[in-house]
Amino acid sequence: MTTAERLARNNALFREANEKIRAKAEAHAVGMDKLPFLCECAREDCHELVRVSRDDYAAIRAERSRFLIAPNHESAEGAHASVVQRTGSYAVVEKLGAAREALERECS
């Protein structure tokens, strides 16, 4: 497995877990302004939570190649992603090149 494929698989696993968090919150009408999502960075050992509104997460998720990450986790992505948004509580990265291609295969 190439580095790009490993990163894509890791990102896809975290995204799948976050989709379950979002679905549970919606099903149970959780009244929280911000939900705790898992950081979707490339680090396999990352367990950091990122608090984001459902609307913000939906906007990030609308772009298949974009991922929610905790602040300062950008370096874990290396040359496989570029930061496209940064706030005080999270960043959004977009997969590039081989990592993006591997992600497309992983998620199709």
Give the pLDDT of residue 7.
75
The pLDDT value given to residue 89: 93
pLDDT in tens, 17-60: 888 888 887 777 667 788 899 999 888 888 899 999 989 999 99
Residue type at 33 in one-letter notation: D
Burial of 18 (0-12, 13-18, 19+ CB in 10 A): buried
Chain position carrying tokens 């099903």: 27
3-state SS of 24-51? HHHHCCCCCCCEEEECCCCCCCCCCEEE
Our count of domains for the chain comes to: 1
What residues make up the domain containing 39? Answer: 3-106
In whole angstroms, how far apart are CA 24 and each of 16, 38, 75, 90? 13, 14, 31, 22
For 69-82, how does the pLDDT look when each residue is reduced to its tens digit (9 = 90+)?
A: 999 998 878 888 89
Residue 29: what pLDDT? 66
Q: What is the pTM of this model?
A: 0.82
